Structure 1
Amino acid sequence: MLMVGLPIGLIGVVLPAFRRHGADVQPTLTFVRRGLAIASLVLLAGATAFFVAQVIPLELELGSAEAWIELVRLSLLGQMWIVRLALGLTALVVLRWAARPAAWLSTCALVGLAAQATITRTSHSAAMGEGWLPVAADFAHLFAGALWGGGLVALLVAVRCVLRDDAYGRIELTRDLIWRFSPFGIAGVALAAGTGIALSSVHVADADALRTSDYGRLILIKTALAAGAVALAALHKFVTRRRMKTQADVRRFSRTLLAEVLLVVGVFAGAAWLASTSPPHHMVTHQMPDGSTHMMLMTDPEFQRALQIAALAVLAAGAVAFALEWRGRLESRAR
């Protein structure tokens, strides 16, 4: 989440706002640089934990070091693990030696995108062998969540730095930060929700599976946490920003923004758990006349169709909201 969304949020939201108001951006850059270094270390540890979590359900005989080496060398899971380790080390090297913020921010964003690509390469969607569309939806889902969540962290860091410095106007700068983040938040939420619903139509066979399977219950928990975060985001955009008139309002916004970030962190924790949980697929074996067997995935067509329509509706609504947001920006600049 941080490796992608935090650099994008800093480049697209925080830096332009600070420059416009003549604010000192160095404390924010220093904090973000340290945060990205920690995120790189987490990527290294998380890559290993994710690899082990994916290998354990396979129940392989791995009683020797040679067996593990063969697994890493020959399996896709092992190869993607090595790639993630290389990406994490690359980010650490660049963060240590690159002087220009644009260099280490852009590198971290690219490293994060590449790491997400390796995750989708070994995801449930890729394992199903249903073509490139579910895999692309998986990648878009991860990117959208990272854009939203990482951008929120960038916004939170900026607001906390604003509160520590009395040298410039806290209120107008904070209002500008919220205004600049809005299109990123709208795009991230709409794309994450739309692709998430679409992926549910692939991995959840029917409505009963949502409440009877661990996979389905995790989806419901993720949805509840995301709904809470979206409710706070709407409060910030439509109420908090307009009523922000005192420094106490800025401090209050900082606290509710932290709550929104924590909810999104919960969503990502649920997503990580979901990635290591088997989907509730109902498979039926058919014996063919030539003696071969074919495996078929049994689903509820009406349930699948309803989810697909809902996904398209969410994506369309998000596109409209994003367009209206940019139209309002262009009109305000023209005035």
Structure 2
Amino acid sequence: MLHASPAAAHTRVERTRPANGDTVRTELTVVGIRFSRPVQASLTTLTLLRDGVSVPVPAVRMADSTGHEYVLDTGPLAAGAYEARWRTAGADGHVLTGTFAFVVAAPAVDSAATPGAPAAPPVGVVTAAAPSMVTDTVSAAQPGATGVVHSETERPLAVALRWTWFLALLGMIGVPAFRFGVLARITRDPAHAATAARAELGLGFIALAAASLSVVVLCGRLLLQASELGLTEQGWSGANLTGLLLRTGWGLAWVLQAIATLAFVTGMLVVRAPHGRAAGWMGAGGSVLLLAAVPSLSGHAAAVEGWTAIAILSDALHVLGAGVWLGSLAMLLAVGIPAALASGGDTEGVVAAMARAFSRMALVAASTVAVTGVASSLFHIDHPDDLWDTGYGRVLVLKVALLIGVAALGAHNWKKVVPAMGVDGGTRRLQRSARAELALAVVVLFVTAILVALPTP
């Protein structure tokens, strides 16, 4: 935690021109806003209202070559109370909206001033002569200087969609992980072949259900993102849709999720073909590697400057490790144990074989989650104080605490429950402890759905 992060991975407003609450007593011809990180130019809007009525001005333009600063060339503004409303999306796809207000007043007159000498500007005055907000004297640290800012990704519907997406993702990753890491191992014993075949059939139904959930999330995410960006108000034009999906990082991640979900479904359908079983499973396994990268491409990792590739890789491995660990656990409970119970014979023996194979795989996956989780935190936490002084830090601490609980239950299964398998009652004990582990993991996913929308320190 003493390691300094390369950059803050969330877009903020650095300053506005004029600053929120200022009174301008000189000619004002430019209104603008500057962000801490580059934002999507095609998705950035800035509108101006005077006494609640829209002011006709040219479209917002980029004022620098980096995508940090945007301005309106308003021409000389008449006296009155103004409100500027802005909306944008950063590299992580998070939509931000906000407002800042200012007053344009008549120039102040200093009766005591020397004739012919310019009057000193009163406190709070912002001149419009500065060529760039980089040299503006207004500090973003001033309370309320940047106005009101809202992050649309914190809305309950957005959290629910992300939570559902995480559940679908763990299901899709868990299917091939359980097939290759558990069923492929127990089939080495011919006595377990019938159970493995029955469980593999069940995996097909789980896979299609998880993929269907992913499709629902795809539609929901697109509608929500378009609504937040105001595209639905402009109509569903091809240009708007193309700009959102192909010219933004969020859109490319959405397209990747759609393509990978389609590849996953295709692979699972090929599995059912007379001679396509091996190719189908390989295709499904390859598609989940792409799916694991989707959250990082549209999240905080994509906004880390300088170390973007490493941050994305770390997050993708984090998601993949969680999917292998918790997704396989869900498959063990949903199809593995039921298949063993339905097959008859040595139920305790085959469940014990599956549990041992799962434990070896889960140990590696959980270790990956721990290592990549620490690595990812270093990109977003500047100082240890951020863990309790910021909302992001407090939610991160909550997630880690819950995840430690999940790991503790997993360690109990590995050290106590699995070694005692093979005797009467062993399957029931495994089911009880695994259900508790999985239930707590679902809570961790919900906390994560909140965490990924919060601005980093």
Note the alpha carbon deviations across 1:295-335, whole angstroms, 9 max, x for none.
xxxxxxxxxxxxxxxxxxxxxxxxxxxxxxxxxxxxxxxxx
Q: Are the counterparts in 2 of residues 14 and 154 from structure 1 also a CA contact under 8 Å?
A: no
Correspondence list, 1:98-137, <5 A: 98=271, 99=273, 100-131=276-307, 132-137=309-314
1: CA distance between counterparts of 2:282 and 2:438?
A: 23
Match of 1:78 among 251, 263, 272: 251
Matching of residue 16 in structure 1 with residue 192 in structure 2:
no
Query: For residue 68 of structure 2, what is the aligned residue in structure 1?
Result: none
Where do 5+ consecutive residues of structure 1 fail to align? 281-335
Considering fraction of residues, name the structure with more helix.
1
Name the counterpart of 1:36.
Answer: 207
AA aligned to 2:343 is D
Choose from 364, 375, 378 the match for 1:198. 375
TM-score, L = length of structure 1? 0.74
Tell me, in whole angstroms, the C-alpha distance in 2 between the residues paired with 1:170 and 1:21.
Answer: 14
What letter corresponds to residue 95 of structure 1 in structure 2? M
Contact 1:4 1:110 in 2 (8 A): no
Question: Which of 19, 39, 46 is 2:217 aligned to?
Answer: 46
User: 1:262 aligns to what?
Assistant: 439
In the TM superposition, what is the alpha-carbon distance from 1:239 to its structure 2 partner? 1.2
Q: Structure 1 residues 151 and 83 mapped into 2: Cα distance closer, same or farther (>3 Å)?
A: same
Equivalent position amino acid for 1:112 in 2: V
How far apart, CA to CA, are the structure 2 residues paired with 1:49 and 1:225?
A: 28
Q: Number of aligned residue pairs: give it.
A: 277
Aligned ranges 1:1-335 → 2 under 5 Å: 1-20=170-189, 22-23=191-192, 24=194, 25-50=196-221, 60-62=229-231, 63-64=233-234, 65-66=236-237, 67-98=240-271, 99=273, 100-131=276-307, 132-156=309-333, 157-166=335-344, 168-280=345-457
Distance in structure 2 (CA, Å) of the matches to 1:108 and 1:264? 24
Describe the superposition over 1:73-107 as per-residue Cα deviations: whole angstroms up to 9, x where unpaired.
32221222122112222322333344244333322
Q: Which sections of structure 2, spanning at least 5 residues, go unmatched?
A: 1-169
Q: Secondary structure of 1:246's partner?
A: coil
Structure with the bigger RCO (C-alpha within 8 Å, sep 6+) is 1
What amino acid does structure 2 have at the position aligned with 1:140? Answer: L
Cα distance in 2 for residues equivalent to 1:50 and 1:81: 8
- Shift of residue 161, structure 1, vs aligned partner: 1.9
| Residue number in structure 1 paired with 2:33 | none
- Root-mean-square deviation (CA), in Å? 2.4
Name whichever structure is richer in strand by fraction: 2
CA contact (8 A) 1:51 1:77 kept: no
Contact 1:10/1:154, CA 8 A, preserved across alignment: no
1:145-174, CA deviations, whole angstroms, 9 ceiling, x for partnerless residues? 1121122123222123212332x2122222
C-alpha spacing 1:265/1:21, structure 2 compared with 1 (3 Å): farther
- The CA distance in 1 between the partners of 2:447 and 2:426, in whole Å, is 32
State whether residues 172 and 288 of structure 2, in contact with CA within 8 Å, keep that contact through their aligned partners in structure 1. Answer: yes
With over 3 angstroms needed to count, the CA separation of the structure-2 counterparts of 1:146 and 1:61, relative to structure 1, is same
Distance, in Å, in 2 between the alignment partners of 1:38 and 1:269 is 20
Q: Confirm or deny: 8 A CA contact 2:304 2:311 kept in the other structure.
A: no
Q: How far apart in 1 are the matches of 2:217 and 2:415?
A: 37
> Quick one: structure 1 residues 245 and 182, their matched pair in 2 at CA, closer, same or farther if it must change by over 3 Å?
closer
Residues 51, 145 of structure 1: CA spacing in aligned structure 2 closer, same or farther, 3 A cutoff?
farther
> Greater CA radius of gyration, 1 or 2?
2
- 1:20-58: CA deviation from partner (whole Å, max 9, x where unpaired): 1523123211211011111111222233445566677xx
Amino acid of the residue matched to residue 94 of structure 1? G
Identity %: 23
- In 2, the alpha carbon distance for the partners of 1:136 and 1:245 equals 40
